[in-house]
Amino acid sequence: MAIETVGIVGAGQMGNGIAHVFALAGYEVLLNDVSAEGLTKAIAIIDKNIERQVSRGKVSAEDKAAAMARIKTTMTLADLGQTDLVIEAATEKETVKQQIFDALLPHLKPTTILTSNTSSISITRLASRTDRPEKFMGFHFMNPVPVMQLVELIRGIATDVETYETLLAVVGKLGKTAASAEDFPAFIVNRILMPMINEAVYTLYEGVGSVKSIDESMKLGANHPMGPLELADFIGLDTCLAIMNVLHEGLADTKYRPCPLLTKYVEAGWLGRKTGRGFYDYRGETPVPTR
């Protein structure tokens, strides 16, 4: 199954990164969002990020120009129906994702593969609401997409071999590495990563260490490039909480219970870097711990 055109739903942090790597790899990209401002911002971010690659000698100016020319934008979801592959990269809420797929279905070609960039939600359940569960997969990119090497490929119970092999080839063409995961809550990366972040928040909540001491301990004591609380701010505390809730509800094990302090930060709207405050305050020149 040849993939030449790719439709991406959502022009946020993940969506613009996915558009970036697909355009550089030679695919025609149609980027969709509900906000015209969001689309304009996404194109500017992609341009800036590829320009950074040009300045480092990783991409030629000609390849950048060709990649930018391959990206088109639309606010009309139905326009994505004629693409060969659709990647949903909207917010991590199952109801939102279901509404997107419901709206797309009447406009899709029979051969179009549907995928979700979800980091935790059941692929089998999302696929079961569509007319093509055999052509539906989890296609989970890591953030930031242009930098991170891994893509998790998650098959639902009905996903056929041809769909899996097609996406495996796409990952190869992107120059990335695929890891196959079974369809259980949070798959591989977040099944391991999020409880670690949640435990770091519990360590803060219980007064075992401060934000600074927790992050420095894991960076210097475990050789992590970022501390867990710094990483949580980078991911978004709302996303971390959503994934912990999926783990807790899906596996019914108390070890996945979200820390009350994580919930409190999300309730305050302190979601990390994207809102200016999380476990660190980013409103000054350098980030300052908030606890």
Known active-site residue 117: no
Was 72 annotated as part of a binding site?
no
Selected catalytic residue, list 20, 122, 152, 198: 152
Was 82 annotated as part of a binding site?
no
Was 219 annotated as part of a binding site?
no
Was 274 annotated as part of a binding site?
yes
- 3-class DSSP assignment, residue 30: strand
Selected catalytic residue, list 119, 120, 122, 198: 119
Which two structure tokens, joined as six digits, stand for 130?
């569509």
Known active-site residue 119: yes
Was 93 annotated as part of a binding site?
no
Was 97 annotated as part of a binding site?
yes
* DSSP, residue by residue, 55-98: HTTSS-HHHHHHHHHHEEEES-GGGGGGSSEEEE---S-HHHHH
Selected catalytic residue, list 16, 32, 116, 140: 140
Was 15 annotated as part of a binding site?
yes
Was 207 annotated as part of a binding site?
no
- The whole-angstrom separation of Cα 229 and Cα 237 is 9
Was 63 annotated as part of a binding site?
no
Selected catalytic residue, list 16, 117, 190, 198: 190
Was 48 annotated as part of a binding site?
no
Was 92 annotated as part of a binding site?
yes
- The whole-angstrom separation of Cα 139 and Cα 160 is 15
Was 173 annotated as part of a binding site?
no
Catalytic residues: 119, 140, 152, 190
Residue list for the binding site for NAD(+): 10-15, 33, 92, 97, 119, 143, 274
List, as residue ranges, the binding site: 10-15, 33, 92, 97, 119, 143, 274
